[in-house]
Amino acid sequence: MRRTSPPQGHALEVGAAFLKLGLMSFGGPIAHLGYFRREFVERRRWLDEAHFAQLLGLCQFLPGPASSQLGFSIGLLRAGWPGALAAFLGFTLPSAVLMVAFGMWSHHLAGAWGQGVVHGLKLVAVAVVAQGVFGMARNLTPDAPRALMAAVAAGLIALGTSSAMQLGVVAGGALLGPWLCRSVTARQGETFPLTYGPRTGTMLLGAYAVLLVLALAVATHLSTSWEIAGAFYRTGALVFGGGHVVLPLLKQAVVDPGWINNDTFLTGYGAAQAVPGPMFTLSAFLGERLPDGHGGVFGAVVSLLAIFLPGLLAVSGCLPFWRALAARNNAARMLAGVNAAVVGILAAALYNPVWVSAVRDGMDFAIALIGFALLVAARQSALLIVVWCVVASVLRAMLA
């Protein structure tokens, strides 16, 4: 394999960029892809559209939180392991801190203004997801076969939103890619600037597997702290699709054993939709609320690290092998098919749950449409869209 140049960035630069996104990336995992593309492909130009698509395709295949894995990978390529850690911390800490604090401050979001804030954040998601779908469709479905694949994928997801259906759509894109995307060729002579190779990748994948075996077979026979860590690790290791798909597994992990009651779980779920950053930080809220001395800050940190660790091990372990495969024409065509399917998945998600849960009437549509126009036509920052949607929604709620 051709040697690559070392990463060109610094961990502080990466941390600052992801901290900004961690503070303002409302809308869940689908919206995060739009934020990442806008920030790192269009604005900062840390990687081009093709490499962004390669990373996105890999993260869609793997278990774990796809948007967090994508951010971790971008940080890894930009500034090595320190950059990867900085990306993870910057993107994750704001929402984790907010989720831990939510239990103490939730009563301040009562009333019309609080409901207006939460609803405004949902309208932000509509604008951001729409902008992400628009941009990705333009770049990843440039011909009729891929546009058709995206349309079929969107239709299938609309019929069944389970994680199994999403995996089936992604796998179908990979199978059809070599047949329908024959015009696609691999980019020769270019690869990711990783600072490690297949040997380290194998060790990382081995660690993922060993910890999963321990979480499945051993943790249930140890103390409650190890049971809790094992439960959150199993959830992170076995969920495909990330985001809202993690909720049934989390419920099974913490509600069924009696650690968290269902009302508390649903309260945390509502808060997770209203804060920026990854949905997986719901684990920090749940960990903080654990009973019998297992909660607090310690419980939040253990739960947070346990649920994120398997996904980060998986993506960093697969990257050395993925970059070799991506240099082959058949693999590039499979990836083109996967990316077309992902566009369809994003388009379906734009309707349900994003549009369905946010747009109640024509006024909501107008607020979201103005936000979309500010993003696409005026090329304004996402922070301005957050301010616009929240202020407009709060004023509407107060005047109703």
Structure tokens at 73: 């990978």
In this structure, of 24-28, 65-69, 129-133, 182-186, the range with the lowest mean pLDDT score is 24-28
Asked whether residue 125 carries a pLDDT value surpassing 80, the answer given is no
* 84 confidence band (pLDDT: 50, 70, 90): very high
Asked whether residue 187 carries a pLDDT value surpassing 70, the answer given is no
What residues have CB less than 8 Å from 312, skipping those under 6 apart?
A: 64, 68, 69, 72, 84, 88
What residues have CB less than 8 Å from 325, skipping those under 6 apart?
A: 331
- With vertex at residue 65, the alpha carbon angle to CA 137 and CA 272, rounded to the nearest 5 degrees, is 100
Q: How far is CA 21 from CA 37, 40, 119, in A?
A: 12, 11, 20
Asked whether residue 69 carries a pLDDT value surpassing 80, the answer given is yes
pLDDT tens-place string over residues 20-43? 999 988 777 777 888 899 899 989
Backbone φ and ψ for 240, nearest 5 degrees, come out as: -110, 135
pTM for the model stands at 0.71
pLDDT tens-place string over residues 214-260? 888 765 555 577 888 998 998 898 776 556 557 667 877 888 788 88
Asked whether residue 7 carries a pLDDT value surpassing 60, the answer given is yes
Nearest to 245 by CA among 304, 163, 342, 310: 163
* 82 confidence band (pLDDT: 50, 70, 90): very high
Q: What is the pLDDT of residue 255?
A: 83
Structure tokens at 8: 């060109």
Asked whether residue 106 carries a pLDDT value surpassing 70, the answer given is no
Asked whether residue 371 carries a pLDDT value surpassing 90, the answer given is yes
Q: What is the pLDDT of residue 48?
A: 87
Q: What is the pLDDT of residue 31?
A: 77
Q: Kindly report the number of other CB atoms within 10 A of residue 359's CB atom.
A: 19
What residues have CB less than 8 Å from 283, skipping those under 6 apart?
A: 232, 235, 250, 300, 303, 304, 306, 307
Between the CA atoms of 162, 166, 169 and 173, what dihedral angle is there, to the nearest 10 degrees? 180
Asked whether residue 159 carries a pLDDT value surpassing 80, the answer given is yes
What is d(CA 124, CA 316) in angstroms, rounded to the nearest whole number? 31
What is d(CA 317, CA 313) in angstroms, rounded to the nearest whole number? 6
Nearest to 130 by CA among 56, 30, 55: 30
Residue 167 contacts residue 240 (beta carbons within 8 Å): yes
* 132 confidence band (pLDDT: 50, 70, 90): confident
Q: What is the pLDDT of residue 2?
A: 43
| 3-class DSSP string for the chain | CCCCCCCCCCHHHHHHHHHHHHHHCCCHHHHHHHHHHHHHHHHCCCCCHHHHHHHHHHHHHCECCHHHHHHHHHHHHHHHHHHHHHHHHHHHHHHHHHHHHHHHHHHHHCHHHHHHHHHHHHHHHHHHHHHHHHHHHHHHCCCHHHHHHHHHHHHHHHHCCCHHHHHHHHHHHHHHHHHHCCCCCCCCCCCCCCCCCHHHHHHHHHHHHHHHHHHHHCHHHCCHHHHHHHHHHHHHHHCECCHHHHHHHHHHHHCCCCCCCHHHHHHHHHHHHHCCCCHHHHHHHHHHCCCCCCCHHHHHHHHHHHHHHHHHHHHHHHHHHHHHHCCCHHHHHHHHHHHHHHHHHHHHHHHHHHHHHHCCCHHHHHHHHHHHHHHHCCCCCHHHHHHHHHHHHHHHHHHC
Q: Cis before residue 353, ω within 30 degrees of 0? A: yes
Mean pLDDT score of the chain: 84
